[in-house]
Every structure is written in C-alpha cells, then in structure tokens.
Amino acid sequence: MTINWMKNAASAFIIMLLAVVLPGCMYPNDQPGQNQRPPKDAILNVQAVIDQYKKDTGLLPIRNSNPDTPLYEKYQIDFDKLLRMDYLSEIPATAYEKGGSYYYLIINEETDPTVKLMNLAIYQQVNDIQAALKVYSGSHGGDLPSGETAYPGFTRIDYSKLDKREPAIRSMYTGQTLSTMMDGKGNVYIDYGSDIMQALAKQPGGLKPDQDLRALLVDHSDFVPVKSTVYRLVNGEPQAVFK
C-alpha cells in the first residue's frame, strides 16, 4: 500500500510540474520575432561572403530594385545567386528566405558594402497601420486620421479614428517604444527621433548640416531603421524631413 501511495504521489507531482512548465514552453513570447536578434556570427559570415564575391566579380549579389525603393530597403542580398555560385552552403536561419524574421541588406554599396538587417515583424506592423489608414481615408473622402503635429509636415496618427490601439513598436536600438507618424499624403513612418537624440548625445561632433542622421543609428548597429524618413539636425535637435 505504501508503494502505491508513493506512485500516486509521484504522478501527482509530475502533473503539477508539467502544468507549470508547459505554458511557458507553448507561449515563449507574446510578440515573437520583433526583437529576437540573430547571432552575430551569422551576420559576420554573410559579410565575409559578400566581400569575397565583390573581390572576385567586382559586383554585388543583390536583387533588382526600382529608384523609388527607400534607401534602407533597397539592396537585398540575393541568397539564391550565392548558393548557385557556391559562395554559400546554406542561407542563414534568420533570413526571410528560410522563414526567418529579417531581410539581409547591403548599405554603402558604392563605397563600403556592409551587411545590415531589416526587421520584418516591425515592417509588417507598419504595413498593417498603412492598410487601416488607407481604408479610413477611402471611406472618409480622402481625409486622414491626423493627430497632433510631430514635425513640420508630419502628424501623429489618431488611432481612435481607426478604432485601433497604437501598436507597441520596440526600437532595435534602444529597446524603448517608438511612436508612429504620417506625412501629408498618408504615408506612415516610425519616428526615430528619440533614438537619434540618444545617438547624438554620444556623438563627439563633426556633423554636416545636410547629413541624414539615420546614419548614426546604422553605423553602430546591425539593423536599419525600418519604415523611416530622413532626419536633419535643426536647432540642435533631430527633425524629420521629406525625402
């Protein structure tokens, strides 16, 4: 009888343990993919492949794009080409082509080709906002759900008019929550002003008057500013401007 009691007690303990552990395994993250960073060696390996390809061919393995493609979305790496030409044995697990959460891009393509990543979870969040805004504008005679002014020519989005809550978009640079905004044509952007302000505080100086301040974020990170517009220094502060 003692043995049966011990077996029952052990079974009960295991059931209780599973009840505690399994929920955490099934739901590891409320927003999977948004800020899960790929291992550094994956980026370094792709960079080495890009450097060797450029040295051998004088070209870059990038997909075709059109002139209207935004700067930090433009030069996507053509992994299929690298595989066909035996420059790569497999595509990184974090790449979109393998079901991952990032596009691998090249910036500074003419002077210093550098591999950077675009977060697709954040990109999709902005696309969802853009779609909702388009529906609203179409059913309200072209009006936009404008809120308070963010910068000259840019306003916040009044999400109450869209019957939506503003999404919590976490910065890949600082981890803080970033706001959204739109221009007069209804194009939606993420406002990186606070991120750039922090980067400026660490900048010793030497900025050019016409410099795009987004470079301060990109130069010290593996990530590009998703769905962003140009920022200039105006009266000592970053200000969004039209491209």
Using CA atoms, how far apart are residues 205 and 47, in angstroms rounded to an integer?
29
Residue 191 lies in a domain: yes
| Residue-by-residue pLDDT tens, the chain, 243 positions | 444 434 444 444 433 333 333 333 332 333 444 456 788 999 999 999 999 999 999 999 999 999 899 999 999 999 999 999 999 999 999 999 999 999 999 999 999 999 999 999 999 999 999 999 999 999 999 999 999 999 999 999 999 999 999 999 999 999 999 999 999 999 999 999 999 999 999 887 778 778 999 999 999 999 999 999 999 999 889 999 986
> Considering its fold, how many domains does the chain have in total?
2
Co-location of 98 and 206 in the same domain: no
Per-residue CA distances from 75 to 62, 147, 157, 238 (Å): 6, 34, 30, 26
Q: Considering the entire predicted model, what is its pTM?
A: 0.83
Do both 139 and 209 map to the same domain? yes
Q: Does residue 131 share a domain with residue 97? A: no
Quote the tokens at residue 150: 């963010």
233 and 143 share one domain: yes
220, 203 in Cβ contact below 8 A?
no
Range of the domain at 155: 121-241
The H-or-E segment that residue 132 falls in is: helix 120-139
Q: Does residue 94 form part of some domain?
A: yes
Q: Is the residue at 132 inside a domain?
A: yes
Spatial contact of 221 and 131, defined as CB atoms under 8 Å apart: no
Residue 3 lies in a domain: no
| Last residue of one domain, picked from the residues 67, 87, 118 | 118
Tell whether 133 is covered by a domain: yes
Q: Give residue 58's region: left, alpha or beta (phi > 0; psi -120 to 50).
A: left
Angular region, 216: left φ>0, alpha ψ -120 to 50, beta rest: alpha
Write down the pLDDT at residue 207: 83
Among 62, 87, 118, the domain-final residue is 118
Query: 147 and 169 in one domain?
Result: yes
